Amino acid sequence: MQKTIILVLTLMLTGRAMTLAFIHRAGGGGVGDPPLAWLMPLIGDSVVGLSGLAIAYLIWTRRGLAIWTLVVVWNAIAIWDAMSAYIIHLTVPWPEFFMVQVFGPSMFFMASAMHLVILVLAIREPLRSLLMNNNKLAAS
């Protein structure tokens, strides 16, 4: 069950890749364009979202210390990226972004919380052993 939760959350977090649609507009100055300060969080979200597909695949098909480490590092970087975006949101707001309009600043904390759940599950037993074991074990 825990592995399923990790996979579902990881796949949900691939939605962060939607920011690819805004990168080319950063600093453009047009209506609804993101301020240039948002370029880093947009790129970070894109990388986290796209790599989430690879992470989900690896969780599903592979085992080993390298996979477990990758899951932990990916989530830690993703939390850092979301919190960095929150700080940028506070200093250089982009109120036209539809996610900010729908969820407000809580969207940064929702993404971080999802990544934190994955991290907690990955570092606790029995999932840590499952991810690190090189044998093909049944999903827990």
pLDDT at 2: 82
Positions of the chain with pLDDT lower than 70, given as ranges: 134-140
pLDDT for position 91: 95
Decide if 6 contacts 119 (C-beta within 8 A): no
- Residue 1: the pLDDT is 81
**What is residue 138's predicted lDDT score, i.e. its pLDDT?**
43
